[in-house]
Amino acid sequence: MKKIMILALMLIGTTTFAQNKNQKASIEVDGVCMMCKNRIEKACLTSKGVKSADWNVKTHELKLIYDARKTDLKAIQKTIAKVGHDTKEVKATDEAYASVHPCCKYRDDKVIDDHKDEGEEKPKN
């Protein structure tokens, strides 16, 4: 009987440790250029528990892989806001937004217009 109990406890322990700790998530983050991409991804990767961060300039989609035991989406979004970028749930403070490079002012319509064609292939003459 003792052997069965020990074996059962070992199986339960193994199952508990085998659970997938990594979570995948996708969130929208405001930005306009490659400098924004670098800033957003770097901020995410400096967050404890974030394994992977890939932000798409055109779609503004940030794809994340993170250890849910060490962090959560809210904490990651707060880190992104601290470097000056808005998410749907967490907005950057005016002070943090003011710290981004002038070409990265994604709240400014003129800057957005200046970056509209970025990354698209230009027609050849």
CA distance 114 to 125: 21
pLDDT, tens digit (0-9, with 9 covering 90-100), for 40-67: 999 999 999 999 999 999 999 999 999 9
Which structural domains are found in the chain, ordered by start?
Answer: 19-115 (3.30.70.100)
User: Measuring CA to CA, which residue among 40, 37, 32 is closest to residue 96?
Assistant: 40
**SS3 annotation, 58-110:** CCCEEEEEEECCCCCHHHHHHHHHHCCCCECCCCCCHHHHHCCCHHHCCCCHH
Q: What is the pLDDT of residues 24-44, one digit of tens each?
A: 999 999 999 999 999 999 999
Whole-prediction pTM: 0.76
| Cα 17 off chain centre by | 26
